[in-house]
Amino acid sequence: MSIKFCTYPIEPTAMEVASTDSLRTLPSSITTLKNTIQLLRDEKLFILNEKIHLEERAKLFSNVAV
């Protein structure tokens, strides 16, 4: 029994190509995700500040109404 070696280049499968492309775009995907997280944090802080502001205004109006 003899062993035959492949002498021609083996083409990568579609999955291997997709994996390589995914790894290539991973750094920009991570950066995009970090930026999105920061935007969500900023939005959360804005909403919390608005809530506090509205609660303070509600207290003022309730004091005036009494």
Q: What are the pLDDT digits (tens) for 2-59?
A: 666 666 667 777 777 777 777 788 889 899 999 999 999 999 999 999 999 999 999 9
Integer Cα distance of 38 and 36 in angstroms = 5
Query: Given the structure tokens 């021609």, which residue do they identify?
Result: 8
Query: What local confidence, expressed as pLDDT, does residue 14 receive?
Result: 76
- Domains in the chain: boundaries: 40-66
Query: What local confidence, expressed as pLDDT, does residue 57 receive?
Result: 94
What secondary structure letter does DSSP report for 8? S
